[in-house]
Amino acid sequence: MHYYHHPESGLSFDAIISTVEEAFAEHCRGNVQMPSKVYVTFDAGDFRTMPAYIPGLDIAGVKIVNVHPGNRTRGLPTVMALTVIIDAETGEPTALLNATDLTDFRTGAAGAIATKYLCPKREIVLGLVGSGRQAETQLEAIARVCDISEIRVWSRKERNQEAFLSRYSQYEGTATSLEQTCDCDVLCTTTPSTAPLVSDEWVSEGTHINAIGADAPGKQELDPAILARARVFIDDYEQATHSGEVNVPISQGLYSPADIAGTLGEVVCGKKGRNSDREITIFDSTGLALQDLAIAKIALENGDGLDLPFP
């Protein structure tokens, strides 16, 4: 059994995107075992257990990940993750990966895959609502599948907008209002909001949206009216209806699960997709164990771990 402290170091987004895309395709083909996330709740947060097996990639295991909103005051990340890899032939745990950064990267990869298939343009203006770690990995991953002519970024705090733009000074970038940020080709929403931030009238025809922030019941970033006029793709039906962007509108009767256009796996396999350049498309991302195993697969091929005695 090996422990990998920084399995993300040296990983290329091209390789991550390619492997995560293959995992989504295997999901669509019915070749992935992936029981639903299991939640255990604490006063201060929760942890989620995410087991899966992708025979086509020869990888199985479990990601264990917490969400503790008060951690920053303790100097700890809000989200920390550990992935345990299980050998399919023997059941032996063979690897342990510090998966905190891997989690950000695999979420970025899903956004890039959705953008590659659902955005009708290859040269884009990228709008970012939120300027944290998730905004960074969306930008970095989408840059592998599109030419980004301009980035527009909005954050509640002006200094966060400026800091973000200075980190990505190779791009033409503007710190804009929320409304102006939404005037773009690809919009990524990455905030922990529990009330809609993006108004329906700000979103033009043809926009593709990666709705990343909502990953728990009660969270939402988009005006439900946008969902009503868009083609909405999700990663997994059970997770999305429980905790994705669609969860609040569904619970309020403003959106029906029957209106969901399909899964990202179906998009990757060519079974579902955008119908016209004028449609709005939305990818509602909640984060799947198959993404965690796909990126772990690449990380294990790439890195050396610390040998731990087992069994």
Known catalytic residues?
63
Give the position of tokens 């990998």.
Answer: 4
User: Torsion-angle region of residue 226: left (phi > 0), alpha (psi -120 to 50) or beta?
Assistant: alpha
Our finding on whether 229 is near a second copy (CB under 8 A) is no
The number of residues that bind a second copy (CB under 8 A) is 47
DSSP structural state of residue 33: B
Among 84, 126, 232, 300, binds a second copy (CB under 8 A): 84
Q: Is 271 in the site for a second copy (CB under 8 A)?
A: no
CA atoms within 13 A on the CB side of 86: 13
Is residue 33 a contact residue for a second copy (CB under 8 A)?
A: yes
216 belongs to the binding site for a second copy (CB under 8 A): no
Strand partners, 188: 128, 210
* Smaller CB separation from a second copy, 77 or 192: 77
State the sign of the Cα–Cα–Cα–Cα dihedral 189, 195, 197, 203. Answer: positive
Strands 280-284 and 262-263: unpaired
From 68, 73, 138, 62, select the one nearest 104 (Cα to Cα): 138
**Least distance in Å: CB of 186 to a second copy?**
31
- Is the separation of the CB atoms in 94 and 58 below 8 Å? no
Among 18, 31, 100, 199, binds a second copy (CB under 8 A): 100
Judged by CB under 8 A, does residue 123 bind a second copy? no
Q: Which of residues 38-57 bind a second copy (CB under 8 A)?
A: 38-47, 49, 51-53
Mapped onto helix, strand or coil, the DSSP state of residue 257 is helix
Minimum distance between the CB of residue 292 and a second copy, rounded to whole angstroms? 13
Minimum separation from the CB atom of position 217 to a second copy (A): 16
Q: How far is the CB of 12 from a second copy (least distance, A)?
A: 23
Q: How far apart are CA 103 and CA 219, in angstroms?
A: 19
- The answer to whether 72 contacts a second copy (rule: CB under 8 A) is no
Provide the 8-state DSSP code for 214: -
By CB under 8 A, name the one of 91, 147, 169, 258 that touches a second copy: 91
Q: How many CB atoms lie within 10 A of CB 178?
A: 15
Chosen residue from 10, 30, 253, 311 binding a second copy by CB under 8 A: 311
- Binding positions for a second copy, rule: CB under 8 A: 3, 5, 33, 35, 38-47, 49, 51-53, 60, 62, 64, 66-68, 71, 74, 76-77, 79-80, 82, 84, 86, 88-93, 96, 98, 100, 306, 308-311
